[in-house]
Structure 1
Amino acid sequence: MIYGIGTDICDVRRIRASLARHGDRFARKILSDAEFATWQARSARWPERGIRYLATRFSAKEAFSKAIGLGMVMPMTWRLCEISNLASGKPAIVLYGGLKDWFEGKGLSVHVSVTDETDYAASFCVVESLDKTSL
């Protein structure tokens, strides 16, 4: 049963401007430690790809926060939600701390899709509940 659906589109130019204004501090606010390391590596090889990586993570976390119905309110925080990739390349969401406890306590699972083009990153997220009592 669907618990919630979220979608987000992010203007990559806005992320670029935020990075120019705030530097690594902006990326540290949005990204988990593992995401930050990936962002640094991608940015070092090809800066524009690093910006789009950050935009897709921003967008996916926004979509997830909408799908769970919390927005950016505790226990949902930027850094407790990580967008990773399975070996196949499929994006996946990994949760930590209180957000993980809250999510698992409700018996939820999540599916996420991310995409980016030159100027935009977009994400779609579906959260499912197998337990009808958690709704």
Structure 2
Amino acid sequence: MIYGIGNDICDVRRIQASVQRHGERFAARVLGPQELTVWRQRSQRWPQRGIRYLATRFSAKEAFSKAIGLGMRTPMTWRDCEILNHPSGQPYLRLHGALKAWFESRRLRAHVSVSDESDYATSFVVVEQQTVLTAS
């Protein structure tokens, strides 16, 4: 059963301005530990690629917060929600701490899609609630 749907579009230029203004502190506030490692690696090779990565993660976390109906309120936090990639490139969510406990207690499962093109990053998240089957 669908629990919630969220989408978001993010202006990559806004993310770039935040990084220019606040430096790595902005990325460290938005990204979880594994995401931060990937961001640093991508930023070293090609800074614009790092900005796009940060923008897609920002957008996906906004979409996820909408899909679960909390917005950016506890237990939803930027760093407790990571958008990682399988070896195939498919994005997935990894949750931590109180957000993970909240999510699992409701038997939720999330599907995420991210994309970026020139000046915009966009994300779409579908959250399902798994039903408990009872024996008849």
TM-score by length of structure 1 reads 0.96
After TM superposition, where is structure 1 displaced by more than 2 Å over at least 4 residues in a row? none
- Quote the residue 1:12 is aligned against: 12
- For residues 112-123 of structure 1, what are the structure 2 equivalents within 5 Å? 112-123=112-123
- Quote the residue 1:66 is aligned against: 66
Q: 1:61 aligns to what SS in structure 2?
A: helix
CA distance in 2, matches of 1:38, 1:103: 25
- Quote the residue 1:41 is aligned against: 41
CA distance in 2, matches of 1:83, 1:56: 9
CA distance in 1, matches of 2:80, 2:44: 25
Q: 1:114 aligns to what SS in structure 2?
A: strand
Deviations 1:42-70 (A, max 9, x none): 00000000000000000000000000000
CA distance in 1, matches of 2:93, 2:113: 10
State the percentage of identical aligned residues.
Answer: 67
Q: 2:69 aligns to what SS in structure 1?
A: coil
Q: 2:76 aligns to what SS in structure 1?
A: coil
**Displacement after TM superposition at 1:87 (Å):** 1.6
Q: 2:77 aligns to what SS in structure 1?
A: coil
Counting matched residue pairs gives: 132
TM-score by length of structure 2 reads 0.95
Deviations 1:74-111 (A, max 9, x none): 00000000000112111000000000000000000000
CA distance in 1, matches of 2:75, 2:131: 21
**Displacement after TM superposition at 1:118 (Å):** 1.2
- For residues 1-135 of structure 1, what are the structure 2 equivalents within 5 Å? 1-131=1-131
- Structure 1 residues without counterparts, runs of 5 or longer: none
**Larger Cα-atom Rg:** 2
